[in-house]
Amino acid sequence: MMTSLNLGEQFIEIAKARRSIRAFTDQPVPKALLKTIFNAAMQAPSNCNTQPWFVHVATGSVLEALREELPQRFAKGDIAVDHPYDGKYEGVFRDRQYASAKALYDALGIPREQKTERQAWFLNNFRFFDAPGVAFFTMPKAFGLREACDLGMFTQTVMLGLSAHGLGSCPQTALGFMTHVIKPALNIPDDQMLLFGLSFGYPDTTAAANQAMTDRAHLDELVSFSS
């Protein structure tokens, strides 16, 4: 069991356990536990200790209203973003993206040619995969790539904290396409840029979506050492 491991070994196990969860039970996550996890994540690094992040957590009736509205709005093409979304995956990055999608839809039993069914399932992004809670991550609009990196490090720390407490999560850039709906619903100031959301809760271990497993690149492909 993890309790018999030293701290270093526990960290490795927690990091390996973290993966994107796309089906949750309806068991609520205690607010006190969330506060503990987010408070620990505040130790994440940032440029000059600026801590350029804000988190807006939605649960209860606010979340249910968004869960009802977002899929309908997205399906109609009613989208809006706070930041450019012009990156393009090519080469090995496109290969990894394809492999990830294949693993998911294979687990769901939806062949590639069933595009309508795949598109319908994609809308579950905007239902937050039935998660009991969602955290929306923002930063000041005046900031850019440097501060977005800070926000990413903070969010990763949050996800590891969730994983360490037996919770699952799924970071969703898709939610960044619905800023015009999400921000007013959560009273997020207009001078904050919404980058993405993070659905979280207790994983439904029996769900087909959570049986999808993705590979990681070999260490030597991405990490080099000089001496």
How many whole angstroms separate alpha carbon 59 and alpha carbon 15?
A: 26
Question: Which DSSP state fits 27?
Answer: P
pLDDT tens digits, one per residue of 48-99: 999 999 999 999 999 999 999 999 999 999 999 999 888 899 999 999 999 9
Q: How many beta carbons lie within 10 A of that of residue 205, not counting itself? A: 11
The tens digit of pLDDT for each residue in 162-181 reads: 999 999 999 999 999 999 99
3-state helix vs strand vs coil in the chain, percent to 5: 50, 15, 35
Query: Quick check: 35 and 135 in contact, CB under 8 A?
Result: no
Q: CA distances (Å), 139 to each of 17, 72, 109, 189, 197, in order? A: 28, 27, 38, 10, 13
Task: State whether the Cα torsion 182-185-190-191 is positive or negative.
Answer: negative
pLDDT score recorded for residue 3? 66
Compute the CA torsion angle 182, 187, 189, 195 (nearest 10 deg).
-30
pLDDT of 50 reads 98
This prediction's pTM: 0.95
Domains and CATH numbers, the chain: 23-86+128-209 (3.40.109.10)
Is the pLDDT confidence value at 1 over 60? no
